[in-house]
Chains A and B, each alone.
Chain A
Amino acid sequence: MKPYRPHPRGTPWVFLAPFLLLFGVFTAWPLLRSLQLAFEQTSGPQTTVFVGLKNFRYLATDPLFWQAMENTVTFTLGTVCVQVPVALGLALLLNRPDLRGRALFRLIFFAPSLIGMVFVALLFLPMLEKRTGLVNIWLHAVYPPWNLEFAWLENYAMTALILATVWVGAGFMMVFFLAALQHVPAELLEAAHIDGAGARQRFWHIVLPELRPVLGLMTLLAIVGSMQLFELSYLLLGDTGGVSNRGLSLVMYLYQTGFTTGDLGYASAIGWVLALLLMGVAMLQRHLARRAQED
């Protein structure tokens, strides 16, 4: 028998080196710095003044910050409430065993999620125009009282943003639901069918509980993604979020204070509020998932 040959002691460190080095320099270090930066006022990256809690105190009474917060939360709730049911509905439609063309439909629904939000914004811009926009013209064709002057980008900015986001993201989510649906044990459904459970009962009592982990994960991803709304609103509505800042999001406001005003300290403070919010959501989801597992 050949002798056991251990690996050289440094081997794991060699494999980890690129990650640790880059992570340290470009994530961990700036993250630590941002703890300090949030208590400073800056004018561009070079001049910084320590201001203590002033950034956070100002944040508490800054009307633009609270507007951005309200917009972001509205957008997130709207997106999740539309996207999750649409994605689940599409997945259920595609999950029928005798369906033909499943692969084609899946491909079609998934395709928009490959497009970056920048390009989605540019594409939706002409479609949401007043008289000439495709959305208004089609709505008018389907429902004649629809006003062709309907100002999506001016007065219904939030609805427009949610619409575009669902177009992009529903297919992505659907793919995960579909994969999870195909893991639902067929014997279980069959047994329930034989026992006289209707389609609705089977959905609520067998399919939905099986989907719960994926449903939780997808909802979390949608919330975390939507809370970081930037490109879509920035390019569709302009850098201040359009008419009376209706589309101004937290990340847009962060970007604006950091790079238009040049106060990276205040931008960091906004970043921390957003981060704590997202961490709270993630922890809540983990807690709920764990409790569901224990049941």
Chain B
Amino acid sequence: MRRRLLPLLIYGLLAVFATLTLTPFAFLVASTVKTKADFVSTLFLPAGDGLFGVGWDRLTGENYRRIFGELHVPRALLNSCFLASVGSLLATLFSAMGGYALAKFRFPGREGIIRLVLAALIIPGPLLIAPGFQNLWRLGLLDTYAGLMLPGLAPAFGVFLFRQTMLNAVPSELIEAARIDGAGEFRIFFTLVFPLVRPMFGAFLMIMFLGIWNDYLGPQIVLQSPELYPLSTTVAMLKNLHWNDYGLVMAGTLVAIAPVMCLFLLLQREFIAGLTSGAVKG
């Protein structure tokens, strides 16, 4: 008896939690295609006599038309794509390069830099808000993409992770052999070292991409011109300007999260494996 009930209980619990997790997504998608009147009167899709008892004819594309037509959203989508892809690629590359130097080279000053990286791991982001702003103002980088991106391109966390990974994953004999064969240092890095840490590279790239895509505070502090805004600040602004038009805000929100969801669905297995490989070791 107990043997039959237990799986039932487990699947039941999982189903309840899965429903709770998915409900906000369903709500979000449904909200974007409803009129203002239907938004307040129905939770998901409005009832009607169409297929599955849904009033399909009452749905509207108006929110999307306005999002892509009148408001700054298409421009912001491009901005976010640019910032997140270029930013994450450079941050990952610089981290991998730094980690490689600290893992596979012996040179005076190495211990000092390793200690610096370890110390930098515990610097919390908010500590840098005020002095960082002042610094960007001094350098004349406020309201520019340089000011928004450059501070994020040197993550100590990334250098640390790549160093840890490369200590074991990249055999020094292989590098020596390539050197004896006359390969240049950059060629060694890109054709020999890089393929060995590719899973790590992919996972870190994705973390950085998500971090930049979802960053709100950075653009809020650094940028002033609305045409430079990424999706985070643009969609939050939609809420302030059209606070009584939830359908519109929900459409903006969906446009902002759909790209990262699709990207993740494509890469999820590698991403989760890469993510947990460092944290969970025997």
| Residues of chain A whose beta carbon lies under 8 Å from any beta carbon of chain B | 2-9, 11-16, 18-23, 25-31, 33-34, 37, 42, 45-46, 90, 93-94, 96, 98-99, 105-112, 114-119, 122-127, 132, 134, 137, 167, 171, 175-176, 179-180, 183, 214, 217, 224, 227-228, 230-231, 235, 250-251, 254-255, 258-259, 264-265, 267-268, 271-272, 274-275, 278-279, 282
Contacts known (A31-B123, A122-B236); A112 close to B21, Cβ less than 8 A: yes
Residues on B with C-beta less than 8 A from A20 are: 98, 113, 154
User: For residue B256, which residue of chain A has the nearest CB?
Assistant: A119
Bin the interface of chain B by size: 35 or more
Q: CA separation between A119 and B238, bound complex, in Å?
A: 12
Is A271 a contact partner of B21 (Cβ separation < 8 A)? no
Contacts of B176 in A (CB 8 A): 4
Asked whether A118 lies within 8 Å of B236 as measured between CB atoms, the reply is yes
A20 to B116, CA, bound (A): 10
**Please, how many angstroms separate the alpha-carbon atoms of A13 and B28 in the complex?**
49
Contacts of B129 in A (CB 8 A): 251, 254-255, 258, 267, 271
**Chain A CB within 10 Å, residue with most, of B21, B39, B97, B100:** B21
One of A93, A183, A230 near B14 (C-beta < 8 A): A93
Contact bitstring B27-70, A, C-beta under 8 A = 1, else 0: 11001000000011001000000000000000000000000000
Given contacts A13-B107, A22-B94, could you give 11 more A-B pairs where the C-beta distance is less than 8 Å?
Answer: A2-B181, A4-B176, A16-B102, A18-B93, A33-B134, A42-B134, A110-B268, A176-B275, A227-B124, A255-B129, A271-B130
* Chain A residues, Cβ within 8 Å of B180: 2-5
Give, as a whole number of angstroms, the nearest-CB distance from B176 to chain A. Answer: 8
Q: Which residues of B are at the interface with A, using a C-beta cutoff of 8 A?
A: 7, 10, 13-14, 17-18, 20-25, 27-28, 31, 39-40, 43, 90, 93-95, 97-98, 100-102, 105, 107, 110, 113, 120, 122-135, 137-139, 150-151, 153-154, 156, 159, 176, 179-182, 185, 189, 210, 213-217, 221, 232, 235-236, 239, 246, 249-250, 252-253, 256-257, 260-261, 264-265, 268, 272, 275-276, 279-280, 282
